[in-house]
Amino acid sequence: MRTEDLERVFRILRDETKRLNPPLAEKKNRTSPFRVLVGVLLSSRTKDDTTGSAADRLFAAAPIPEKIAALSEERIEKLIFPVGFYRTKARNLKATARKLVDEFNSKVPQTIQELLSLPGIGRKSANLILAVAFGIPAICVDTHVHRITNRWGYVKTKDPYQTETALREKLPKRYWIEINRLLVIYGQNVCTPILPYCSACRIEKYCGKVGVTRTR
């Protein structure tokens, strides 16, 4: 994919994804910084509906960091079950809430270095929080962004960290915040990992189809 085709591709992606559900972290009723942070902590290996219900139960019982920090891990486990790895996530939620209270005046920090200091928050999650919660230009590279940008031929990388580095060097900053939302939705519904729906893809002519051997 050529850099000069990007604006047209992003216009098509914006149009196509309007009819599909956005990722949980980006839904309008979930965009307070602390809500985004908790949603990100809960969401790994868990469907959005399950994550949303778990977050609702947790916030009904403890809506602020001080109250989550005061809960026992066992109580948090019961509130967030059946999210994947709920015991590990309960431990991280309690520790993160305590760190927010003790070190950040109960506020979600706004730098990647500070976010990475929170238990359970990796680079992908930190970038997502910066972009969604604060509108700070950051590239969140998950499996969809990594797969699709390589499939396009726009980057040639081996892992998400390399993809983030390559995109920071090549992708115009105006696309940084929205690329994750657009490609997560498109990757779940059209540009799927196996047998992508190339026959229904409006950006097919811009795509190098790198590594694609069979399509629908």
Backbone phi, psi, residue 53, to 5°: -65, -40
The residue from 134, 156, 175 where one domain ends is 134
36 and 70 assigned to the same domain: yes
pTM for the full model?
Answer: 0.85
Which one from 18, 27, 56, 142 is the annotated catalytic residue? 142
Q: Which two tokens stand for residue 94?
A: 């309690």
CA dihedral 127, 129, 131, 134 (to 10 degrees): -140
Query: Looking at 56, 67, 107, 124, which residue is catalytic?
Result: 124
142 catalytic? Reply is: yes
Mean pLDDT by 10 residues, the chain (216 residues): 90 90 54 91 89 95 97 98 96 98 98 97 95 94 97 97 96 95 94 96 96 94
Give the domain CATH number at 49.
1.10.340.30
Told to judge if 48 belongs to the known catalytic residues of this protein, a careful annotator would answer: no
48: tokens are 């959005």
Domain contains 213: no
- Domain span at 74: 31-134
- Identify whether 211 is part of a domain: no
CA 83/CA 49 separation, integer angstroms: 10
Q: Are residues 150 and 81 in the same domain?
A: no
**One domain, residues 47 and 89:** yes
Q: Assess contact for 99 and 109: CB atoms under 8 A.
A: no
Q: Which two tokens stand for residue 137?
A: 């230009």
